[in-house]
Homo-oligomer: A and B are copies of this chain.
């Protein structure tokens, strides 16, 4: 069902796209449907896929819909991606990379663990707020696809967890955090909190609550939950 030897990052048609990759498609959500300045086709398709997957879900998304949203012909998608599945996987890869990069930037490299955790949590939820479509893809589709991707195993998500677990285990070894709970479990738990909040916020139409204030609450809660007991 799933293409396992997908291209994922191959830059384009025949691996030789007409222009150079224009760097991270950071601005990709708001795609100017205008003259299609060319070369950014792959990025435009990814942006369109993000939008359509977010709006309709992977299985209900039509490839032709993505093509229309990207302003390209149906067939063009297959110049850049092996299949619809590959498109999803590639989207994960790209967006996860962005997220990880952003988080690495936002987290002070050598502060105290509680501070760094706080920063991580705030940055993550801010990111969700600012790029809700990324959020949809990461939150809903990632999980969906975890199922049919058991083999694929999603290295990028592993990286993400490692980043978080690294902060925690470092804090533990420095005595800043309680070390009874294994760091990977704690990381997963924290991700669960963030992911669930993101989902609730997304499904609530972005206005049931302020996701950035929520960051403070769950940041505090999490820190207390992990901090060393001074006994």
Give residues in A with beta carbon < 8 Å to B. 1, 56-57, 59-60, 139-140, 143-144, 146-148, 150, 178, 180-182, 185-186, 188-189, 191-197, 199-200, 203, 209, 214, 217-218, 220-227, 229
User: Could you say which of B140, B148, B221 contacts A189, with CB atoms under 8 Å apart?
Assistant: B221
A194 touches B197 (CB 8 A): no
Integer count of this chain's copies in the complex: 4
Question: Given that A193-B192, A194-B192, A225-B225 are contacting pairs, would A217 and B185 also be in contact in the complex, using a CB cutoff of 8 Å?
Answer: yes
**B186 and A191 within 8 A (CB):** no
Are B57 and A148 in contact (CB-based, < 8 A)?
A: yes
Contact, CB under 8 Å: B217 / A181: yes
Is there an interface contact between B144 and A140, defined as CB atoms closer than 8 Å?
Answer: yes
Q: Which residue of B lies closest to A182 (CB)?
A: B217
A221-B140 in contact (CB<8A) = no
Q: Is the CB of B146 within 8 A of A144?
A: no
Q: State whether A143 touches B146 (Cβ < 8 A).
A: no
Query: Which residues of the partner chain B approach A192 to less than 8 Å between Cβ atoms?
Result: 192-197
Q: Given known contacts A225-B221, A225-B224, is B199 in contact with A185 (CB within 8 Å)?
A: no
